[in-house]
Amino acid sequence: MSDQQDKPWYTRVPAISVAVLAFLVGLTTLVNNVRDWIGSDAKTPATAVPAKPAAVAPASAPQAPRKTAVLLTLKQIEVIDDGTGGSTAWSFEIEGGGEGLFSLASRDYVDTGPEAIALPRPSDPSIARVVLVPGQEMRIKITGHTSGLISRSSASGSAKLRPDGSLAPIRVTGDNGKAGEFVFHFATVATPQD
């Protein structure tokens, strides 16, 4: 037997290979320790809260109120007075709780005949989603402006969106006694949120 064969195996491996092997063992140990540490932190809250008392609680106990998401969809605009003898171009901004929900670009409105009921155009954004906290009512405000060159008019109106999702038709009337009167009809769908 030669001297090389009498020495332990690790003395025959080049030093760089031993260093790489030691590094990989250390890295694997570190990764496992971190994974166990994170896993134990994630389990701690679950084990701290006993599951049995929650199951024993009576079914009639009041639950904490939940948030409600309400989907508003503009169905139609009833034109009572377009503001002039012919058609009048109006644009409208719809806000919920002081924040813009959507805008209707300028278009001609007519207050006579079948055109007195204006439906949203396919290009008009006419759907918005708002979230109400328990007991909250949100003010839905509509402001409108004419785009006339000679005289400009504005109109506004608002209604309260209730927590159950109900919203009365919103009457938008000319400011400062000026002409212009519209009634906005919305469909609402309320969904409880977790």
Q: Which of 77, 130, 124 is nearest to 99 (CA)?
A: 130
| Averaged pLDDT for residues 16-35 | 73
Give the mean pLDDT of 65-80: 88
Question: What values do phi and psi take at 93, rounded to 5?
Answer: -115, 130
Mean pLDDT, the chain, whole residue set: 80
Cβ atoms 90, 180 nearer than 8 A? yes
Please determine, for residue 46, whether its predicted confidence score (pLDDT) is greater than 50. Answer: no
Q: List all residues 6 or more positions away from 87 whose beta carbon is below 8 Å from its beta carbon.
A: 108, 109, 110
153 vs 3, more confident: 153
Comparing 162 with 151, the larger pLDDT belongs to 162
Closest to 163 measured CA to CA, from 64, 62, 67, 71: 67
Full-model pTM: 0.64
The DSSP output letter for 116 is G
Q: 29-67 burial string, b = 16+ CB within 10 Å, else e?
A: eeeeeeeeeeeeeeeeeeeeeeeeeeeeeeeeeeeeeee
The H or E element containing residue 186 is strand 181-192
pLDDT at 191: 85
Mean pLDDT calculated for residue range 76-95: 90
State the Cα–Cα distance between residues 181 and 179, nearest whole angstrom.
Answer: 7
7: which strand partners? none
> Would you identify the CATH topology of the domain 68-192?
Immunoglobulin-like (2.60.40)
Between 181 and 14, name the one with better pLDDT. Answer: 181
Question: With contact defined as beta carbons under 8 Å apart, do 153 and 180 qualify?
Answer: yes
Q: What Å distances lie between residue 78 and 96, 151, 170, CA to CA?
A: 20, 23, 10
Tell me the percentage of the chain whose pLDDT exceeds 90: 34
- Interatomic CA distance for residues 117 and 78, integer angstroms: 5
How far apart are the two ends of the chain, measured CA to CA in Å?
77
